Amino acid sequence: ADQPLVLGIETSCDETGVGIVRGETLLFDAIASSVDEHARFGGVVPEVASRAHLEAMVPTIERACREAGVTLGDLDAVAVTSGPGLAGALMVGVASAKALALALGVPLHGVNHLASHVAVDIVEHGPLPEPTLALLVSGGHSSLLLVPDVTHDVRSLGSTIDDAAGEAFDKVARVLGLPFPGGPHIDRMAREGQVVIDFPRGLTGGRDAERHRFDFSFSGLKTAVSRWVQAREAAGEPVPVADVAASFQEAVTDVLTRKAIDACRTHGVAHLQVGGGVAANSRLRAMAQERCDAAGIQLRVPRPGLCTDNGAMVAALGAQMVLKGRAPSDLGIPADSSMPV
């Protein structure tokens, strides 16, 4: 096998992910999540996440190797998320990856978390068309990216000016009394509800829409949902949770897909890739498919388990770095919590 064997480590938030990729094939994706430890706080607690990464790292690396049927000595390179993300959490992954690369004498590739959300689709659907337009929607990011080359040329066309899409799902879930993280709960509730409330679509009309054509805004939507729910409660009426969930979800997915397709058209790109935790949303997947079909755009969305944070995405991008002959990172690379794309 002359395809590079790459181990990727992801620790930017609350998932300790270790993926092993050979060339463009995923061998195994091991994940340990501290999400249950954060649930009672209603959000990710950075200190708790860092400690959990430290405890999970070695067992997760061992499990990934065992399940992939490889030993550490077989690795051709190590890749790691070096940013953006929670500083302390990133440091655990970066320090671990440096130690591995140093001990094994193999190159280290520090990769950008946003770019790796895009690159993961290579192990799912094969080589990325160049350029690809990517809609990246997670708990920390909502961005439209133009991607001529995922290993070194990823351009941001726009991003959220306030809350990320996943953050909006999580905040609205809290308003509706659903557990954290709220995205999957809203997705499930919405299936039992109807889209009956016309919630606002941020940055789609008026003067702001021109200036922020490829940007998103979800904080007004979140406020509108909370006001609507409060008015119901104040009137002593029951809150139709499933209908609110469905209507909120419709507003978010409408804006995301509309802007993504507008960006494809504007930049003459015939391929849209959707990634990040919110790409696991069933309505977003269905609406994106419908609208891409209508617009003659080819849609690529990885399976839900590869949309949320994982190690396979890092290994997938690392392997592309090796295949394209990109220079490895210096072993002194820092964790960069606010790394741009």
Stretch that binds Zn ion, among 18-26, 131-139, 192-200, 204-212 (CB under 5 A): 131-139
* Cis geometry, peptide bond prior to residue 181 (ω within 30 degrees of 0): yes
Work out whether 309 is an interface residue with Zn ion (CB under 5 A): yes
Smallest gap from residue 214 Cβ to ligand KG4 (A): 20
Smallest gap from residue 96 Cβ to ligand KG4 (A): 19
Residues 87, 91, 93, 94: what is their CA dihedral angle, to the nearest 10 degrees? Answer: 120
Q: Cβ distance 120 to 8 under 8 Å? A: no
Work out whether 184 is an interface residue with ligand KG4 (CB under 6 A): yes
In b/e form, how buried is each residue of 224-250, taking b as 16+ CB within 10 angstroms?
bbeebbeeeeeeeeebbbbbbbbbbbb
33 HSE (CA, 13 A, CB side): 11
Measured CA to CA, the distance from residue 224 to residue 240 in angstroms comes to: 15
Judged by CB under 6 A, the number of residues near ligand KG4 is 19
Smallest gap from residue 341 Cβ to Zn ion (A): 13
Measured CA to CA, the distance from residue 237 to residue 98 in angstroms comes to: 57
**Residue 140 labeled ligand binder:** yes
Q: Cβ distance 44 to 74 under 8 Å? A: no
**Residue 318 labeled ligand binder:** no
Among 138, 151, 247, 310, which residue interacts with Zn ion (rule: CB under 5 A)?
138
Stretch that binds ligand KG4, among 123-131, 164-172, 216-224, 230-238 (CB under 6 A): 164-172
Among 280, 292, 314, 321, which residue interacts with ligand KG4 (rule: CB under 6 A)?
280
Work out whether 88 is an interface residue with ligand KG4 (CB under 6 A): no
Q: Cβ distance 274 to 284 under 8 Å? A: yes
- Residues numbered 11-50 forming contacts with ligand KG4, rule: CB under 6 A: 13
Residue partners of 333: CB distance under 8 A and separation at least 6: 82, 94, 98, 108, 110
Residue partners of 266: CB distance under 8 A and separation at least 6: none
Measured CA to CA, the distance from residue 333 to residue 340 in angstroms comes to: 15
Smallest gap from residue 294 Cβ to Zn ion (A): 29
Beta bridge partners of 31: 17
3 state SS of 40: coil
Stretch that binds ligand KG4, among 31-39, 182-190, 316-324, 326-334 (CB under 6 A): 182-190
Work out whether 10 is an interface residue with Zn ion (CB under 5 A): no
User: Nearer Cβ to ligand KG4, position 107 or 275?
Assistant: 275
**Residue 332 labeled ligand binder:** no
Q: Is 203 left (phi over 0), alpha (psi -120 to 50) or beta?
A: left
**Residue 116 labeled ligand binder:** no
Measured CA to CA, the distance from residue 266 to residue 244 in angstroms comes to: 33
Work out whether 182 is an interface residue with ligand KG4 (CB under 6 A): yes
**Residue 310 labeled ligand binder:** no
- Residues numbered 120-139 forming contacts with ligand KG4, rule: CB under 6 A: 138-139
Among 8, 83, 88, 276, which residue interacts with ligand KG4 (rule: CB under 6 A)?
276
Work out whether 187 is an interface residue with ligand KG4 (CB under 6 A): yes
Q: Cβ distance 300 to 125 under 8 Å? A: yes
Q: Which residues are annotated as a binding site?
A: 113, 117, 136-140, 170, 183, 187, 281, 309
Binding site for ligand KG4 (CB under 6 A): 13, 138-140, 166, 169-170, 181-184, 187, 276-278, 280-281, 308-309
Q: Which residues are annotated as a binding site for substrate?
A: 136-140, 170, 183, 187, 281
Q: Which residues are annotated as a binding site for Fe cation?
A: 113, 117, 309
